[in-house]
């Protein structure tokens, strides 16, 4: 990497980019990939066939630009989300990262700040940097919790222009109560803060967990972002979206690139949204595997956090690097999130879950792997 940085020194790079390295989890070839929270079950055959047919039809018109307003996609997404949403409340882009970037392009920028509560999604500060938005790190309580009172007090003091609330949170996997969102929104009134609730893993939440979508009416500064990468198993298609007031979607039209969603992307997403029940059936199986991992980790003497996502964040490990390497040597790739004593594993298939727990059990039989 240092050689690449040396070569970059020959270019008139932006000052704030000097010395930085590209973001991204390690792309390592392993038999069992449980490191980036992908949907490990893949796209069901019936949905694959529907996508192939839709893409084949779209190919016939590739000499023309796609629908700039992705009207069908917005209509289908509004129908999927419910909550009396209309296409005017919906926006989409190439993955939720682009959605978040466009929000910061519209509401962040030089002289403005974005607040996040680490540990949380590591792209937030990077997206802030890319849009010349100052990123401010808030604080969580013990066990990585965030109460309505603590969050609201920090928003009131720091007066950010944008607030990121990740629920379920990545990497901890826990969902926020709606009281946190309501308190943050009220506390941000004086600074007119845009409040983003990142619900990328919402479909994996435990039964009865409410969505911030229910809070949208009357809150024009509230945005709920989602993705089709996780529950819909379309990580490779790159489709993210949000629900917000029509004022927000109009603002994003000011910063989006023209025709930013290709005809192929739109066709893929539209076809998948015709089969939500089939895709969400896989979600239920993934949730079962997640809960099985939590139980298995406890049996091994480790400390998994309760999870509302498709992954499990667990502590009690003395040497995270050693455990990570030991699993990789056994053909299993999980994620070292850089928090001492903690690792994160994606919920895989039943076979992948069994293999992970078996190999990890073999490793932790050596007490040196456990945190004292």
Query: Last residue of a domain, which of 241, 275, 309?
Result: 275
pLDDT, mean of residues 126-145: 95
Residue 369 in 3-state DSSP?
A: helix
Neighbours of 368 (CB within 10 A): 10
Task: Find the mean pLDDT for residues 322-338.
Answer: 95
Residues 157 and 65 in one domain: yes
Given this model, what pLDDT does residue 13 score?
86
Band of pLDDT at residue 367, cut at 50, 70 and 90: low
Final residue of a domain: which of 275, 300, 317? Answer: 275
Average pLDDT for residues 6-28, to the nearest whole number? 80
The mean-pLDDT minimum among 29-33, 56-60, 71-75, 218-222 falls in 29-33
Q: Is the same domain home to 271 and 281?
A: no
pLDDT at position 345 is 98
pLDDT of 368 strictly over 80:
no
| CB within 8 Å of 294: residues ≥ 6 apart | 304, 306, 307, 312
Question: Is pLDDT above 50 for 343?
Answer: yes
Supply the pLDDT for residue 364. Answer: 87
pLDDT exceeds cutoff 60 at 371: no
Which tokens go with 353? 């879950």
The reply to whether 168 and 207 lie within a common domain is yes
Confidence tier at 162 by pLDDT (50, 70, 90)? very high
Check whether 24 has a pLDDT greater than 90.
Answer: no
User: Does 160 lie in the same domain as 176?
Assistant: yes
Segment 140-167 shows an average pLDDT of 96
Q: Are residues 85 and 126 in the same domain?
A: yes
User: Is 90 exceeded by the pLDDT of residue 18?
Assistant: no
pLDDT at 239 over 80: yes
> Does residue 225 carry a pLDDT above 50?
yes
- Asked if residue 319 and residue 213 are part of one domain, the reply reads no
Query: Looking at the 3D structure of the chain, how many domains does it have?
Result: 2
How many CB atoms sit inside 10 A of residue 209's CB? Answer: 15
Q: Looking at the structure, do residues 18 and 148 belong to the same domain, yes or no?
A: no
Q: 282 and 271 in one domain?
A: no
**Distance, CA of 174 to CA of 341 (rounded, Å):** 18
State the sign of the Cα–Cα–Cα–Cα dihedral 84, 88, 94, 97: negative
Contact by Cβ (8 Å): 154, 115: yes
pLDDT confidence of residue 19: 80
The pLDDT value recorded for residue 22 is 78
Cβ atoms of 240 and 96 within 8 Å: the answer is: yes
What is the CATH classification number for the domain harbouring 26?
Answer: 3.90.1150.10
Give the residue among 317, 309, 301 at the shortest CA–CA distance from 346.
309
Q: What residues contact residue 326 under an 8 Å CB cut-off, 6+ apart?
A: 359, 363, 369
Give me the percent of the chain exceeding a pLDDT of 90: 88
Judge if 251 and 332 occupy the same domain: no
Say yes or no: 258 and 120 in one domain. yes
What residues make up the domain containing 56?
45-275
Q: What is the chain's mean pLDDT, rounded?
A: 94
Domain termination residue (choose one: 229, 249, 275): 275
CATH number at residue 151: 3.40.640.10
Cβ proximity of 292 and 353 under 8 Å: yes
Please give the Cα distance from 228 to 269 (Å, whole number). 8
Are 329 and 219 in a shared domain?
Answer: no
pLDDT band for 1, please (50, 70, 90 cuts): low
Mean pLDDT of 101-122: 98
Based on C-alpha coordinates, what's the Rg of the chain? 21
3-state helix, strand, coil split of the chain in percent (to 5) is 45, 15, 45
Instruction: Give the CB-side neighbour count of residue 79, counting CA atoms within 13 A.
Output: 11
How large is the average pLDDT for residues 232-255?
A: 98
pLDDT at 369: 60
pLDDT above 70: percentage of residues in the chain = 97
Q: Which residues pair with 101 in a beta bridge?
A: none
Residues 201-216, mean pLDDT to the nearest whole number: 97
pTM recorded for the entire structure = 0.94
- Both 120 and 242 in one domain: the answer is yes
Q: Which of 194, 254, 179 is nearest to 225 (CA)?
A: 194
Provide the 3-class DSSP secondary structure of residue 344.
strand
pLDDT at 8: 82
pLDDT band at residue 3 using 50, 70 and 90 as cut-offs? confident
Question: Residue 334 — pLDDT band, cuts 50, 70, 90?
Answer: very high
DSSP type of residue 362: H
Mean pLDDT, range 2-27, rounded to an integer: 79
pLDDT bin (cut points 50, 70, 90) of residue 372 is: very low
């Amino acid at each position: 990497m240092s050689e690449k940085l040396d070569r970059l020194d020959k270019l008139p790079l932006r000052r704030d980019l000097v010395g930085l390295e590209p973001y991204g989890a390690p792309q390592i070839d392993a038999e069992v990939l449980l490191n980036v929270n992908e949907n490990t079950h893949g796209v069901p055959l019936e949905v694959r066939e529907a996508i192939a047919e839709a893409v084949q039809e779209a190919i016939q018109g590739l000499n023309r630009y796609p629908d700039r307003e992705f009207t069908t996609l917005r209509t289908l997404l509004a129908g999927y989300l419910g909550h009396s949403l209309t296409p005017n409340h919906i926006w989409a882009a190439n993955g939720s990262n682009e959605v978040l970037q466009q929000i910061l392009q519209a509401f962040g920028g030089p002289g403005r700040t974005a607040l996040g509560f680490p540990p949380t999604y590591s792209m937030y500060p990077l997206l802030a940097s890319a849009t010349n938005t100052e990123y401010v790190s808030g604080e969580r309580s013990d066990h990585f919790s965030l109460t309505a009172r603590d969050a609201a007090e920090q928003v009131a003091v720091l007066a950010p222009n944008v607030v990121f609330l990740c629920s379920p949170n990545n990497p901890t996997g826990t969902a926020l109560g709606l009281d946190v969102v309501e308190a943050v929104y009220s506390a941000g009134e004086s600074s007119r803060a845009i409040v983003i609730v990142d619900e990328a893993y919402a479909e994996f939440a435990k039964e009865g967990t409410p969505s911030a979508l229910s809070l949208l009416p009357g809150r024009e500064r509230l945005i709920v972002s989602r993705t089709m990468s996780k529950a819909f198993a379309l990580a490779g298609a790159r489709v993210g979206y949000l629900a917000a007031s029509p004022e927000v979607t109009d603002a994003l039209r000011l910063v989006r690139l023209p025709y930013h969603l290709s005809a192929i992307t739109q066709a893929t997403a539209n076809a998948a949204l015709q089969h939500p029940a089939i895709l969400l059936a896989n979600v239920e199986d993934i949730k079962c595997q997640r809960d099985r991992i939590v139980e298995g980790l406890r049996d091994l003497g480790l400390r998994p956090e309760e999870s509302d996502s498709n992954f499990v964040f667990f502590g009690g490990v003395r040497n995270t690097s050693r455990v990570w390497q030991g699993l990789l040597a056994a053909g299993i790739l999980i994620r070292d999130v850089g928090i001492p004593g903690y690792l994160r594993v994606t919920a895989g298939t039943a076979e992948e879950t069994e293999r992970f727990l078996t190999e990890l059990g073999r490793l932790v039989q050596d007490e040196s792997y456990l945190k004292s």
